[in-house]
Amino acid sequence: MSAARRSAVGGALPGQRTYYDTPVVATPVWKPSIALYFFAGGLAGASAGLGLAARLAGRHRLARSCVLAAVAGAALSPALLIEDLGRPERFHHMLRMFKVTSPMSVGTWILTAFGGASGMAALSEVSGRLRRLGRAAEWASAALGMPLATYTAALIANTSMPVWRRARFHLPFLFAASSAGAAGSLAAAVTPPEESAAARVLAVGGALAATAATGLMERHLGEDAEPYRSGTARRFARLAGPLALAGAATMAAGSRSRPATVAGAALVLASSLVERFAVYRAGADSARLTVR
């Protein structure tokens, strides 16, 4: 029996049952809306960073696309969290305190601050007013963007799920790369080709980096990577890599073609989404593993 298989709570095996037929590791009770939040929050955070870079480079049309993508993701994220929590006031209750040792507490405050900053940036962009305040808000949302895109990785790595906990050093890189690929893809798809070169580069680079990060993570997990090879998580895990590579190749080969860019962007976005679902489902499958 390997040490990897003893990586659950208290040295017990994933799926092993204790007295009264109670599982050692409880199955996560999160709804699929959490996987959608992982995707939407990451897309919003990475879009804010790309938008600021585009603004500094004088690519204002690209910056506008990113600002609007960031606020859209920021608006969708609380709705997805509330859907999982079941009652809107529970989200408000998490803002009653700030606990630096709790990824959930820190993440709630990051999302709230990001939403305010991205909302102000979008309002200035659309109305053409309060430009100085809008630019300051873009800096603030960009600064909060990377923490927003990656804190969810720290959140799940803090649980007792072996497939998440043992990947605690890999998941942030995976989420960051996947978010970057998604943000670049969306921006490239909705921005004229002459303005979207940086977005295409980010989309291709993010897709390739996410694929590499997934491979390294599964290799590091060893036997604990079994959820990605069987069960419900496998369906998503098997799609993520091919979609990312196909999307990256399509965007790279057809960089001057709007249809090719849109098609490649759709593939990379789909890859980022199914990757989040693969990670989400792997946690539940990890808890259900039985001793063989």
Domains of the chain are 28-285 (1.20.1630.10)
pLDDT (0 to 100) of residue 110: 87
Q: Model's pTM, two decimal places? A: 0.83
Question: Stretch 224-231: mean pLDDT, rounded?
Answer: 84
Greater pLDDT, 231 or 234:
234
101: tokens are 């040792």
Element (H, E) at 280: helix 258-288
| Angle of CA points 282, 287, 292, to nearest 5° | 105
Across 107-141, b (16+ Cβ under 10 Å) vs e yields bbbbbbbbbebbbbbbbbbeeeeeeeebeebbebb
Whether residue 3 is predicted with pLDDT greater than 70 in this model: the reply is no
Strand partners, 23: 17
Whether residue 247 is predicted with pLDDT greater than 70 in this model: the reply is yes
Whether residue 78 is predicted with pLDDT greater than 90 in this model: the reply is no
Element (H, E) at 101: none
Greater pLDDT, 195 or 27:
195
Cα–Cα distance for residue pair 80/66, rounded to 1 Å: 21
Quick one: pLDDT band at residue 10, thresholds 50, 70, 90? very low
pLDDT (0 to 100) of residue 6: 39
Give tens-digit pLDDT for 149-179: 998 898 888 887 888 889 989 999 999 999 9
Quick one: pLDDT band at residue 5, thresholds 50, 70, 90? very low
| 23 phi/psi in degrees, rounded to 5 | -65, 145
